[in-house]
């Protein structure tokens, strides 16, 4: 069974990491050969996922694309599918959906995963609407949360086509001894400094602005804290300017894009994800697998993963005071940090491993191929 994962990437974010984790696990299933296919825009090229896939021993293929519509890209994909005897195309994201559907010509099964629809900007709303028209023609559609499924149904995607499969991660990648001396030295984190961190693209949906406002209030009580903002995105300049406006620019560190996610998590005492919109964020699972206490917002599938005060803390989105209180509470209670971290780890290990995820997708592939 040869599976072509098709994605147009803008970096190494949640959807890309799902593709990597899924492909890594699928290759250990008998008669399953995953291939990571990337549609590379020549105007805004991003091949981080290709580098990550290769570093994990996965086979990759790049399809070049000029402009918003390139008929040559469709031809390239068709030729590859025929030459390599691909059995099924698994698409990720609206551009992957568009080109994957046209390339398949209805001659082989198609599956798409909706990781999350971003709708803050009017252009993104248009893309969501167009994507909803395309994915109706896929044989099956996977949502990573009930919320995303409900959103697709509102856009008139046939409910009987939609399956829900939770994201999963490689637990052992994070559950190991990791040295943090080099990173602490790189960012000037002395031994007495506590680190509150977040990881994600610097876009509105991730809610960084609310974390910064909460950070100002936390720092008013304790200046021996650093806030680590890991990731890149269109809002970086705005967020950096906001730290200056708030007077906390010396306590907030913007690291930019990092590949060493396990190491960045290891240096954190508390992980925060203040999102206003989510599916099932991979980074939440990764933080829990790292045994870090997690504070996250009540959006998407997060409440399915984190039970408040049991294996993490859940707050309402955009609740600056709630976020401030949760951070301060954990900073002042090491025992609670350790307890939440351990319980979070066991939750992820039991229910959200990449092995569990890959078996569910494999069953769906077999259903489609039969």
d(C-alpha 236, C-alpha 208), whole Å? 10
Mean pLDDT within 336-355:
96
- Short-list 180, 140, 143, CA closest to 164: 143
Q: Do 177 and 85 fall into the same domain? A: no
Q: What is the pLDDT of residue 123?
A: 65
The pLDDT assigned to 349 comes to 94
For residue 155, give Cα distances in angstroms to 54, 102, 128, 135. Answer: 37, 21, 9, 10
Q: Are residues 198 and 293 in the same domain?
A: yes
Residues 199 and 260 in one domain: yes
Residues 106, 181, single domain; the answer is no
For residues 265 and 286, give the distance between their C-alpha atoms in angstroms, rounded to a whole number. 8
Q: Would you place residue 118 in the very low, low, confident or very high pLDDT band (cuts 50, 70, 90)? A: low
Q: Does residue 120 register a pLDDT over 70?
A: no
Q: How far are the Cα atoms of 138, 144, 160 from residue 107, in angstroms, in the given order?
A: 12, 27, 21
Of 155, 163, 145, 273, residue with least CA distance to 214? 273
Q: What is the mean pLDDT of residues 277-281?
A: 90
pLDDT score of 188: 94
pLDDT of residue 106: 79
Instruction: Give the residues across from 146 on adjacent strands.
Output: none
Residues 105 and 202 in one domain: no
- 124: pLDDT confidence band, cut at 50, 70 and 90? low
Does position 45 have pLDDT exceeding 80, yes or no?
A: no
Q: What is the CATH number of the domain that holds 41?
A: 3.40.50.2000
Q: Is the pLDDT of residue 333 over 80?
A: yes
Residue 73 sits in the same domain as residue 60: yes
Same domain, 210 and 142: no
pLDDT at 367: 95
pLDDT at 230: 97
Mean pLDDT of all residues belonging to the chain = 93
| Domain extent at residue 34 | 2-168+353-369
Comparing CA positions, the residue from 137, 278, 152, 154 lying closest to residue 205 is 278
Based on the fold, state whether residues 181 and 204 are members of the same structural domain.
yes
Position 1 pLDDT exceeds 70: yes
- For residue 77, pLDDT over 90 is answered with yes
78-99 pLDDT, tens digit each: 999 999 999 999 999 889 999 9
Cβ partners under 8 Å of residue 14, min gap 6: 115, 116, 167, 200, 279, 281, 282, 283
**65 with 41: CB under 8 angstroms?**
yes
Q: What is the pLDDT of residues 200-252, one digit of tens each?
A: 999 999 999 999 999 999 999 998 999 999 999 999 999 999 999 999 999 99
Give the pLDDT score at 131: 83
Domains in the chain, number: 2
What is the mean predicted confidence (pLDDT) over 48-52?
A: 92
Residue of 67 and 33 predicted with greater confidence: 33
pLDDT of residue 119: 58
- pLDDT, mean of residues 271-293: 95
pLDDT above 70 coverage of the chain, percent: 98
3-class DSSP assignment, residue 164: strand
Both 229 and 91 in one domain: the answer is no
Query: What average pLDDT does range 270-280 have in this prediction?
Result: 95
Based on the fold, state whether residues 346 and 362 are members of the same structural domain. Answer: no
What local confidence, expressed as pLDDT, does residue 177 receive? 87
What is the model's pLDDT at position 54?
A: 95
Q: Residue 293 has what pLDDT?
A: 98
Q: Which of 43-52, 102-111, 207-216, 273-282 has the highest mean pLDDT?
A: 207-216
105 and 239 together in one domain: no
| Per-residue pLDDT at 169 exceeds 70 | yes
pLDDT tens for each residue of 13-28: 889 999 999 999 999 8
In a shared domain, residues 143 and 216:
no
**Global model pTM greater than 0.85:** yes
Q: Of residues 246 and 42, which shows the higher confidence score?
A: 246
Is the pLDDT confidence value at 254 over 70?
A: yes
């Amino acid at each position: 069974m040869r599976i072509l994962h098709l994605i147009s990437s803008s970096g190494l974010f949640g959807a890309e990491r799902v593709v990597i984790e899924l492909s890594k696990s699928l290759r250990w299933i008998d008669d399953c050969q995953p291939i990571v296919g990337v549609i590379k825009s020549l105007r805004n090229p991003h091949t981080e996922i290709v580098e990550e896939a290769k570093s994990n021993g996965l086979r990759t293929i790049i399809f070049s694309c000029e402009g918003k519509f390139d008929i040559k890209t469709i031809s390239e994909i068709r030729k590859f599918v025929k030459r390599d005897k691909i059995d099924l195309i698994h698409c990720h994201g609206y551009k992957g959906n568009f080109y994957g559907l046209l390339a398949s010509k209805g001659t082989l099964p198609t599956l798409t995963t909706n990781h999350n629809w971003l709708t803050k900007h009017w252009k993104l709303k248009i893309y969501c609407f167009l994507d909803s028209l395309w994915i109706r023609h896929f044989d099956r559609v996977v949502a990573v949360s009930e919320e995303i499924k409900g959103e697709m149904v509102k856009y008139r995607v046939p409910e009987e086509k939609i399956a829900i499969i939770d994201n999963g991660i490689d637990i052992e990648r994070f559950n190991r001894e990791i040295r943090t001396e080099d990173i602490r030295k790189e960012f000037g984190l002395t031994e007495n400094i506590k680190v509150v961190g977040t990881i994600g693209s610097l876009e509105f949906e991730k809610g960084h602005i609310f974390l910064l406002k909460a950070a100002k209030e936390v720092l008013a009580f304790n200046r021996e804290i650093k806030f680590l903002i890991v990731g890149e995105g269109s809002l970086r300049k705005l967020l950096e300017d906001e730290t200056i406006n708030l007077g906390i620019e010396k306590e907030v560190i913007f690291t930019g894009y990092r590949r060493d996610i396990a190491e960045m998590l290891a240096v954190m005492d508390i992980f925060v994800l203040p999102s206003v919109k989510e599916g099932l964020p991979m980074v939440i699972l990764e933080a829990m697998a790292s045994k870090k206490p997690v504070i996250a917002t009540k959006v998407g599938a997060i409440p399915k993963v984190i039970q408040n005060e049991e294996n993490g803390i859940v707050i309402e989105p955009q609740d600056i005071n709630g976020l401030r209180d949760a951070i301060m509470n954990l900073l002042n209670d090491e025992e609670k940090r350790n307890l939440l971290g351990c319980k979070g780890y066991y939750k992820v290990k039991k229910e959200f491993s990449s092995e569990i995820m890959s078996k569910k997708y494999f069953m769906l592939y077999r259903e489609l191929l039969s």
